[in-house]
A = this chain, B = another copy of it.
Amino acid sequence: MNLLNEKSTVEVQAIRAKKAGKVLSLLSTEDKNHALYAMAQRLETEFEFILAANEKDLQAVREKGFNEAYIDRLALSKKRVFEFSDGLRQVAVLEDPTGKIQLSKRLENGLQVSKISVPLGVIGMIYEARPNVTVDATGLALKSGNAIILKGGSSAINSNRAIVEVIHRSLSDSKIPKEAVQFIDSTNREDSQALFTMREHIDVLIPRGGGSLIHEVVSNASVPVLETGVGNCHLYIDSDANAAMALKILVNAKTDRPAVCNAIETVIVHRDWLTKHKMEFINTLSNHKISVHGDEHTLAEIPDATLANGEDWANEYLNLHIAMKVVRHVDEAIEHIELYGTKHSEAIITENDETADYFMQRVDAAALYHNASTRFTDGGALGFGAEIGISTQKLHARGPMGLDALTTVKFIMNGNGQIR
């Protein structure tokens, strides 16, 4: 007991998560699925308890004058809670990512070598005020045999606490120890930062939210990080682009769901194409209420455009604003993307396959599109099943990350006395 008393509450939670994770890692797929179904059921029977807690959070943010989009992401309803439990049932039917034999060979000396997928151990989830992440991330972690430590945004603390209480009650009917789901019941920034350096207890940190949250974690964590979701995505309309296709894709990629990471934030237009299709382009923007922040070339062509500054090029607007740059060559487009892109999703519209290949070979991003909307960078849209997030890093996983991203491997060697 003395030993534990010397550690911070968060560290004790991390140690408990690790211990519970070991028990969890040995459970069968059936046992894990049973727990997910029990969680889903319990969330539905106790939805009013969760909504009451959510109401407290909503009152507080309304008093603080937060904007509607923020409140919308925080707000729960019976329908939303039931969507959470549907999500858990969908995860239950997915294939178990652990225990897969990735390689099996017998060396000449008789040593049997197997490479088998196993859980990572403990996942630290740091996210903004979106209670849905509490349920989604817990479901994916448990299915892949991992314990999870949840640190959600302060504005959602009552909702998250209630959800975790319900999850804990549901786990008491399962073989998963409830310590496998740890909730950091604090709005203290230091308690979040404490997770950054717990290399002994936490195997991976997954920040989910806006750019500044992710930047803070990536810059300060010594625990390995899975970086997700910041998308400053570009659409390049080449001189050889089909105009109808270009405009259809521009509208879809910008306006279908402007607030998501695979929406575009900048359109780069070849000058020759713009000269030919100026009126259609202007009308399309205006019909869809898209506001343009452009360079000087843009201002000379688009009447309502305002002058873009450096921030516009780097900005994730996540609304109907768009930055615009006019170029004379595909190389200028590639350079601009190199400078400002976040390596998420980048698209080129052209009828010229050589130009398309040139672009796709040189642009460094998780997903590159020729004549299609960036909106397809999504595990669901690509038919990969539930996703933890979209990785914009190069190591471990890139692009839509499924349950496999929450596993590592063990080499298991069986011998009868082999020495070297």
Where the two chains meet, the residues of A that have a C-beta atom closer than 8 Å to any C-beta of B are: 22, 25-26, 105, 107, 111, 113, 115, 120-121, 199, 203-204, 218-220, 222, 224, 226, 242, 245, 248-249, 252-253, 256, 356, 360-362, 364-373, 375-377, 381-383, 393-396, 398-399, 408-420
Assess whether A372 is in contact with B413, with CB atoms less than 8 Å apart. Answer: yes
Assess whether A395 is in contact with B410, with CB atoms less than 8 Å apart. Answer: no
Assess whether B22 is in contact with A121, with CB atoms less than 8 Å apart. Answer: no
The 5 lowest CB-CB distance pairs between A and B, nearest first, are: A372-B415, A252-B419, A394-B408, A375-B420, A367-B411
Assess whether B218 is in contact with A394, with CB atoms less than 8 Å apart. Answer: no
Additional A-B contacts beyond A113-B382, A224-B395 (18; CB < 8 A): A22-B362, A105-B383, A107-B376, A204-B394, A204-B395, A219-B222, A224-B224, A248-B419, A249-B419, A252-B419, A256-B419, A360-B410, A367-B411, A368-B413, A370-B414, A375-B419, A377-B411, A394-B408
Cα(A420)–Cα(B204), bound, Å: 32
Cα(A418)–Cα(B248), bound, Å: 9
6 contacts between A and B (CB under 8 A): A26-B361, A111-B376, A366-B410, A372-B413, A373-B418, A398-B410
Distance (Å) between the CB of A403 and the closest chain B CB? Answer: 15
Assess whether A371 is in contact with B414, with CB atoms less than 8 Å apart. Answer: yes
**Which residues of B have CB within 8 Å of A413?**
367-370, 372, 376
Assess whether B111 is in contact with A417, with CB atoms less than 8 Å apart. Answer: no
SS class, residues of chain A in contact with chain B: mixed
* Known contacts A222-B218, A373-B418, A420-B252; A121 and B368 CB within 8 A of each other: no
Distance (Å) between the CB of A15 and the closest chain B CB? Answer: 12
Question: Of residues A22, A220, A377, which shows the largest number of chain B Cβ atoms within 10 Å of its Cβ?
Answer: A22
**Which residues of B have CB within 8 Å of A203?**
394
Q: Identify A371's interface contact among B22, B360, B377, B417, CB under 8 A.
A: B417
Distance (Å) between the CB of A119 and the closest chain B CB? Answer: 10
Assess whether A409 is in contact with B399, with CB atoms less than 8 Å apart. Answer: yes
Cα(A203)–Cα(B394), bound, Å: 8
**Which residues of B have CB within 8 Å of A364?**
121
Distance (Å) between the CB of A276 and the closest chain B CB? Answer: 18
Assess whether B411 is in contact with A373, with CB atoms less than 8 Å apart. Answer: no
**Which residues of B have CB within 8 Å of A393?**
224
**Which residues of B have CB within 8 Å of A398?**
408-411
Cα(A356)–Cα(B413), bound, Å: 11
Distance (Å) between the CB of A4 and the closest chain B CB? Answer: 16
* Known contacts A368-B412, A410-B365; A419 and B224 CB within 8 A of each other: no
Q: Which residue of B lies closest to A400 (CB)?
A: B411
Assess whether A396 is in contact with B399, with CB atoms less than 8 Å apart. Answer: no
Cα(A277)–Cα(B236), bound, Å: 74
Assess whether B411 is in contact with A371, with CB atoms less than 8 Å apart. Answer: no
Cα(A250)–Cα(B394), bound, Å: 40
Assess whether A394 is in contact with B111, with CB atoms less than 8 Å apart. Answer: no
Cα(A170)–Cα(B226), bound, Å: 39
Distance (Å) between the CB of A402 and the closest chain B CB? Answer: 12
Cα(A203)–Cα(B218), bound, Å: 13
Assess whether B256 is in contact with A372, with CB atoms less than 8 Å apart. Answer: no
Q: Identify A418's interface contact among B356, B372, B395, B420, CB under 8 A.
A: B372
Assess whether A411 is in contact with B399, with CB atoms less than 8 Å apart. Answer: yes
Cα(A417)–Cα(B377), bound, Å: 15
**Which residues of B have CB within 8 Å of A414?**
356, 370-372
**Which residues of B have CB within 8 Å of A121?**
364, 394
